[in-house]
Structure 1
């Protein structure tokens, strides 16, 4: 018996289930830079961020905005990018007007 599934309706969790795949994780973070060792609190935050993202990724498609919200914002906070003297600003909106011809 052949099962035909529409790819656009699949989430990552469905693919794992159909192909009988399991995520393997050793629970560590590879050091790409030589940085100070992470505190226990920082390691717990990184694990929470990774697990939160994994849950969203397995459940459905993840948009760019959701990736930023779930991963980048907490990572930036953990790295101190929101601490003074750094000041964040948001993009200013620009009004665009079109002149209608008569």
Structure 2
């Protein structure tokens, strides 16, 4: 009998063992998150300053829900990165599943936001409640990324809890390998949303060609 498991409950060791997934030690594997990033316009920077201020205003009321993080932070970033415009398509709560034959398991879940180009998954976005660290979102995002219908092509992920951000890169062939960027922390006087948007634009530029 096939056992159904929620991708959100999987741990990183489980993913690595059951999918033969390995964290690469190649420093050039994921250079695009920090090298030759596109410049931002003054207008984009002003917009992101407002996004940061609105996020901090909401945190004064207490912890922020996952839904509010997607509304306040993630949606503006998708907009500025150009992912709401052709040739990209954004889908919310997209259902996915992975059949793990050796373990007789079926992994299921729903992606918070999925950016698609020509049916190719460009970016998987996973957001968490502000009370949780993004380390809890990384295995979940990787689980979703492994479900892409185009395993021969690389896939990117973005995880955030509103104040912390990290990017993931996954290549599945010939062997599943991944890497994670440095964690970028949103602090007063240091708007890392600039860097986050630059990386998102970089991913869009590379996959949109």
Once the two structures are TM-superposed, the CA of residue 91 in structure 1 deviates from its matched residue by 4.2
Cα distance, 1:60 vs structure 2: 2.1
Q: Unmatched 5+ residue regions in structure 2?
A: 1-32, 96-209
Partner of 2:52: 50
- The CA deviation at 1:59 is 1.9
Larger Rg: 1
Give the paired residue count. 63
- When you count strand as a share of all residues, which structure comes out higher? 2
Distance 1:42 1:62 in 2: 24
| Alignment correspondent of 1:85 | 87
The DSSP-based 3-state class of the residue aligned with 1:89 is strand
User: In the alignment, which residue of structure 2 is the partner of 1:26?
Assistant: none
Q: How big is the shift at 1:48? A: 0.7
Deviation per CA, 1:8-46: give whole Å up to 9, x if none: xxxxxxxxxxxxxxxxxxxxxxx9453122101000011
1:34 match:
36
For 2:75, the equivalent position in structure 1 comes to 73
Structure 1 alignment gaps of length 5 or more: 1-30, 94-102
Q: 1:61 maps to which residue?
A: 63
Give the TM-score, by structure 2 length: 0.27
Give the superposed CA RMSD.
2.3
Aligned equivalent of 1:13: none
Segments of 4+ in structure 1 off by > 6 A?
Answer: none
Q: 1:64 to 1:90 in 2, by over 3 A?
A: closer
Cα shift readout 1:40-99 (whole Å, capped 9, x = no counterpart): 100001101100101001122201111111000001101111111112234478xxxxxx
